[in-house]
Every structure is written in structure tokens, then in C-alpha cells.
Chains A and B, each alone.
Chain A
Amino acid sequence: MAVEHPPAAAPGDQTRIHNIGYRSYDGPRLGRSYATRSLYSQSLRGAYGLGRSIKSKVLPMLLFAVMCVPAAIMVAVAVATKAHALPVAYTRYAIIMQSVICLYVASQAPQSVSRDLRFKTVPLYFSRPIETADYVRAKYAALASAMFILTAAPLVVLYVGALLAKLDFADQTKGFAEGLVSVALLSLLFAGIGLVIASVTPRRGFGIAAVIAVLIVSYGAVSTLQAIAYNQGSTSAIPWIGLFSPVTLIDGVQSAFLGATPALPGGHGPSTGQGVVYVLLTLGLIAAAYGLLLRRYKKVGL
């Protein structure tokens, strides 16, 4: 077999570059943390369909638009009518739009991890310098970031609009900041729950259904129970029931500490003591999700 061993191309000789043989690589190899960051950015882009087929872009982009349009309309109305306040509080926006957020995490968590499992790309990653924990961190951070973009973008629209409408700067900034903290927590919690569920099923359809069930069905069940408790006059039980669904959990945290009005029947928000339980449970769930993901991927191997 004739093997081409072309002489080294003269520097600057561009025409040679296309017909020379194999070129070895002597450049930098940036190692594990760079690879982890690359996986993070690839996964974050993937959560909006970037770098994937047109079809994969439709749903996330559509949901992003659906999240932002109401905020834009509210802002337009506030500016036009010279209103003295935005129609909804920053902390309330995500609660109102919860079904859009749930749809997003239900579609993108499986996209992020089930695909790697189903197409067996995971073993390929672990044949690279990264370790299991790097993979989990990159995937978790990417989905949480994608959800933060989804939930914070409309808040930015509201905030910019509020400033354009010349609403009180200090007031608005405080509300905006509280809203950002709340959606950051929500993003971490929802991304964790979504990923844990998606990581146990390589079948994307199951993943989507299971995430929707956990997020939306649990909210429905909790709300119903709270309404029953309210009607029967046992209002003290209402905040405790709220601990059992992710949406009401975030609602409780922000009612207790982030100046939000609780979305509970009769406005029965948690007390400060109960609020601490809410925060601890939220953080505990986020940590548990991370721990479960680590355990899950330890088993994947090759």
C-alpha cells in the first residue's frame, strides 16, 4: 500500500494544506474542567435546540416566547395607561406561568439526559477525561441555567417596562431581585426533579409523562386538598399540605421570605417557622436530586 509521506509544507503555503496527509496535534489539551464546561455549554445550547435539528428548536423556542409575551403585554399596558404598579408582582409571574415552565422541564430534561442514555453516548463521555460527577454537574447546571433563562427573561421584561413606566426605582429593584432569587430556586428544584426522573428512563416519552405527572399532578392534588381544608375551616393545615408539591413549595418559600403574596386559598401563607421548613425542604430536595443523579451515573459505566 502506497503511503503518502508528504514533506512539510512551506509555512504560508495555503494550497498545500488541503492535500497533505495526517497532521498530528501538539497544541494544548485543556483537561477535565474545560471538558466539563464544554459539556455544560453544549447542553445549555441543546436545551434551546441550538446545534440540533430545526425540529428540536421549535418547542423550547415556542415556550420561551409564550413565557415572555404576557410580560411584554403587561408592560405595554402599564406604560400606555400610566399605571402606578405592574399588574402582577415579580414573584407571582412564575406561579401564574407554572404550566409553561412544567412543560419546558418535562420536554427538556429528557432531551438532556435520556438521549445520552438511549443513544448510549454516556459511555463515550466517560471514555474522556471527565468523571461521573463532572457529567452530572454539567447536565444539572445546564438545565437549571436554561430554566433560569426561561423564568428570568420575563422578569427582565417586566423590570425594564416598569422603569420605562417611571415606577418607583427602589421598589421595583427590590421586587425584581426577590423575583430572581425565587426563580433561581425554582430552576434548581425543577431541573433536579426533572433530571432525576429523566435519568431513570431512556424512553423520552415516559420521561416527559413522568415529569408532568410529578409537577402538575402533585400541584393539582395539593391545591385540591388545600381547598378542602379551607372549606372545612382547618386553615392551619393549609401551609403543611403545601410542602407536598414543588410549585407550592416555592410559593411557600417566597411568601415567607421574599415578600410574595401566597397563592393559597384565603391567603394562608406559612409562618416564619414554617417558612424555614419550606426552605430546608427545598434545599434538601435539590441536594437529594444531585445525590441521586450521582448514584444513577455511577452505575452507567460503559
Chain B
Amino acid sequence: MPGQLCGLTTGVVRVTIVEGVTVIATESLSKRFPRVTALDRLSVDVGPGVTGLVGANGAGKSTLIKILLGLSPASEGRAEVLGLDVATKGADIRERVGYMPEHDCLPPDVSATEFVVHMARMSGLPPTAARERTADTLRHVGLYEERYRPIGGYSTGMKQRVKLAQALVHDPQLVFLDEPTNGLDPVGRDEMLGLIRRIHTDFGISVLVTSHLLGELERTCDHVVVIDGGKLLRSSSTTDFTQTTTTLAIEVTDSDEHPDGTRAVRETLHARGVEVADGSDGLPGAGHILLLTAQGEETYDLVRDVVADLGLGLVRMEQRRHHISEVFKNEEEQRKEAVGHGS
């Protein structure tokens, strides 16, 4: 059949991903520019799946991607992508990975089809395969009739899809997506995040996606790496992350036996080894809210039991998601404090 002739295997979705394999590994990786240190002894391992690289503007995300593509030498340390050393195997890496830059990179006077076919050939695909895979890939990212029109007339969302298509057209094992949601409206952002998720689940391609918006990646990623000023702040799976950072807000009624129900609950929980914070936030009338960190199902059960044992009524018990940044900031501060106390 024609598909097979040009190397397209039909209908087989790659689901065989060896767990525990490292896709990206850096070891004490530094990049110093004359005036700034863009990466500062960064050591991180990234496995298969969708990994978010989060950090404020200037944190060093794009710099890291350039080093991983073998395009910019590290000042110090080493890095491997798909088991290949970035310092010596740049060309091999670039044949196996895709890259979606953060900036515009599309010529306005050619059609999406023309452009993506060309980029497929630039990745080494023979002409027939380049055309077939372009048609497939543009369809997968959601570009249909418009793909024959010049890119200059596209919306931002459509342009982002073309940029994504050129990163995927040669069926890489890994793609680097640098700020793919930049400039998109909320709907476009959600669609792009959905597409990114599918790159892994449907296409079997691992993803490293950057964003300076910390919140948006937690739904999309299996793993989040946070960097700040070129330093690793945290690397953890999003499931861990959600568990450790869900904050419970509870409010209880008072009773005759316990005129200050809130205080009674706090003391009882404290006695059971659960730290409880005051959720007043300085707001009048909010003094009855207690905040505690949920460690999983047990915490919910514990709170329910404690409140019931005290004979109080539970007015509310709700999850409060912290903004990722807050959580990481807090942890960082705690760590600094701990270090400060230790010395």
C-alpha cells in the first residue's frame, strides 16, 4: 500500500514507552553570558511524558533548550538528550527531536503546506514522505482548508499550530515547545494545552514545554521542573505536587460545650500532629476559617472525625489550590530559613 512505500506505518500508535528511561539529563549545567548567568549548576532528570519547564521571564528556559539542541555550548557541566551528549552529538539529537521556538518564525507569503513540507525535508524526510506527513500533521494540529492559503493571513492560534506542526512533522521522539501558549486567548490556550497533552498520549512523543505562567502547566504535565535565575527550584511529578499542595479550608459551628469551635478543632488537630493555620487573611469575619495541608484522603477523614467527636457542625470543607508559584516560593523560603537557622 502507498503508505508503507514511503515508510509510514499505518494505524499503529506507539504505546510502548519504557518507564523510567531518562529523556533529558543535565549535570551541573551552567551557561554564563558576559553579564548574566543564565543557568547555574542545573542538575535535573526528565523522563518520558509531558514535562513542564516553568520559570519567570529570564529564568533560563530558552537557554536550556538551546543547549539541549546542541546549538549553544554550555559553560560548564554536561547534558544528554535521548542518551546523546549535547556537546558532541548535536546533529543526531536534532534529527530526533522537534523544536517550536517562542518567537514567530513563519514566512507570511507561503502556505502552511508548502512551509511544513519544506521543514520536513530539512529534517531529512524524502519528498513523498514529507508531503504525506505534512498532510497528516496539519490535520492532527487542526488545520484543514486554510493550509493552502498564505500564512500571513492566519490568526495567532493558527500560526501557533503551524509552528507546532513543523516541530512534529518528522515524527520526533521528543519535542521542545518554547512558550507555545504565548499570545493566545483563553480558548486558544486551552486548545493548545489539549493538543500538547495529545502529543504524548496519542502520538507517543515526549514533550518538554516551557511557560512563565505557572498555573497552566499543572493540568497538562506529568512532571514540572521549576527554575529561577537559572537554578533548579523544584522538580516533581504533578501528582505529588497536587497532593502536597492542596490546602483545606474548614469552617465549623460553635456549640455550648465549645463556645469557640474553631479553636477547639485547631487544638484537637494540633494534638494529633496536624499543623493548622489561621485563614483569616486579615479579613473581618473570616476568623473562623482554618487552613491545613491535605496529605491525602486521611486528612479529610481526620477532619470529619475530629469535628464530629467534638459535636460541632462542619460548615464548609473545601480545597484551596495555591498558585504554584506561591507554593514553591514558600518552600524555598522555608529552606532558606532552615539553612539560616542551621548555620
- Please report A residues at the B interface, Cβ cutoff 8 Å: 1, 3-9, 11-12, 14, 16-17, 20-32, 34-35, 38-39, 42, 51-53, 55-56, 115-116, 119-121, 123-131, 301-302
How many angstroms between the C-alpha atoms of A42 and B117 in the bound complex? Answer: 11
Which of B71, B104, B106, B123 is A35 in contact with, Cβ under 8 Å? B123
How many angstroms between the C-alpha atoms of A289 and B109 in the bound complex? Answer: 28
For the complex of A and B, the 8 pairs showing the least CB-CB separation, nearest first, are A27-B7, A25-B171, A127-B99, A38-B121, A29-B124, A8-B11, A20-B11, A30-B124
Which of A24, A116, A301 is B204 in contact with, Cβ under 8 Å? A24
Bitwise, B46-76 to A at CB < 8 A (1) or not (0) is 0000000000000000100010010110000
Among B12-20, B285-293, B300-308, the stretch that binds chain A is B12-20
Which of A3, A11, A21, A25 is B7 in contact with, Cβ under 8 Å? A25
Known contacts A120-B103, A124-B119, A128-B94; is-contact A26 B124 (Cβ 8 Å): no
B101 at the interface (CB under 8 A from A): yes
B170 at the interface (CB under 8 A from A): yes
How many angstroms between the C-alpha atoms of A20 and B202 in the bound complex? Answer: 11
- Which of A16, A20, A27, A120 has the most CB atoms of chain B within a 10 A radius of its CB? A27
| Contact assessment for A25 and B13 in the assembled complex, using a CB-CB cutoff below 8 Å | no
| Contact assessment for B6 and A9 in the assembled complex, using a CB-CB cutoff below 8 Å | no
Which of A14, A131, A302 is B66 in contact with, Cβ under 8 Å? A302
Q: Which residue of chain B lies nearest to A29 when distances are taken between CB atoms in the complex?
A: B124
| Contact assessment for B10 and A29 in the assembled complex, using a CB-CB cutoff below 8 Å | no
Known contacts A22-B140, A22-B204, A25-B133; is-contact A129 B71 (Cβ 8 Å): no
**Contact partners of B133 in chain A: CB under 8 A:** 25
Bitwise, B1-36 to A at CB < 8 A (1) or not (0) is 101101111111111000000000000000000000
**Contact partners of B10 in chain A: CB under 8 A:** 8-9, 16-17, 20, 23
How many angstroms between the C-alpha atoms of A168 and B326 in the bound complex? Answer: 89
Q: Which residue of chain A lies nearest to B201 when distances are taken between CB atoms in the complex?
A: A3
How many angstroms between the C-alpha atoms of A5 and B12 in the bound complex? Answer: 8
B275 at the interface (CB under 8 A from A): no
B129 at the interface (CB under 8 A from A): yes
8 pairs of residues in contact across A and B, judged by CB atoms under 8 Å: A4-B202, A11-B1, A25-B125, A30-B124, A34-B124, A52-B109, A120-B105, A129-B95
B91 at the interface (CB under 8 A from A): yes
Q: Which residue of chain B lies nearest to A27 when distances are taken between CB atoms in the complex?
A: B7
| Contact assessment for A302 and B71 in the assembled complex, using a CB-CB cutoff below 8 Å | yes
B residues 134-163 touching A (CB-CB < 8 Å): 136, 140, 150
Please classify the interface of chain A as helix (H, G, I), strand (E, B), loop, or mixed, using the class held by over half of its residues.
loop
| Contact assessment for B123 and A3 in the assembled complex, using a CB-CB cutoff below 8 Å | no
- Number of B residues, CB within 8 Å of A: 56
| Contact assessment for B125 and A16 in the assembled complex, using a CB-CB cutoff below 8 Å | no
| Contact assessment for B126 and A27 in the assembled complex, using a CB-CB cutoff below 8 Å | yes
How many angstroms between the C-alpha atoms of A7 and B13 in the bound complex? Answer: 9
B181 at the interface (CB under 8 A from A): no
| Contact assessment for B122 and A23 in the assembled complex, using a CB-CB cutoff below 8 Å | no
| Contact assessment for A29 and B9 in the assembled complex, using a CB-CB cutoff below 8 Å | no
**Contact partners of A130 in chain B: CB under 8 A:** 122
Which of A30, A116, A123, A131 is B126 in contact with, Cβ under 8 Å? A30
B residues 69-114 touching A (CB-CB < 8 Å): 69, 71-72, 91-92, 94-95, 99, 101, 103-110, 114
**Contact partners of B69 in chain A: CB under 8 A:** 127, 302
Distance (whole angstroms) from the CB of A115 to the closest CB of chain B? 6
How many angstroms between the C-alpha atoms of A123 and B170 in the bound complex? Answer: 17
How many angstroms between the C-alpha atoms of A24 and B194 in the bound complex? Answer: 20
| Contact assessment for B126 and A119 in the assembled complex, using a CB-CB cutoff below 8 Å | no
| Contact assessment for B95 and A124 in the assembled complex, using a CB-CB cutoff below 8 Å | no
**Contact partners of B14 in chain A: CB under 8 A:** 24
**Contact partners of B103 in chain A: CB under 8 A:** 120, 123
Contacts A8-B10, A120-B105, A302-B69 known; list 18 others, CB within 8 Å: A6-B13, A12-B1, A20-B10, A24-B204, A25-B9, A25-B125, A26-B7, A28-B7, A29-B125, A34-B124, A35-B121, A38-B118, A53-B110, A56-B109, A119-B105, A120-B104, A124-B105, A124-B119
**Contact partners of A5 in chain B: CB under 8 A:** 13, 15
How many angstroms between the C-alpha atoms of A119 and B166 in the bound complex? Answer: 15
Distance (whole angstroms) from the CB of A7 to the closest CB of chain B? 7
Which of B9, B15, B122, B150 is A39 in contact with, Cβ under 8 Å? B122
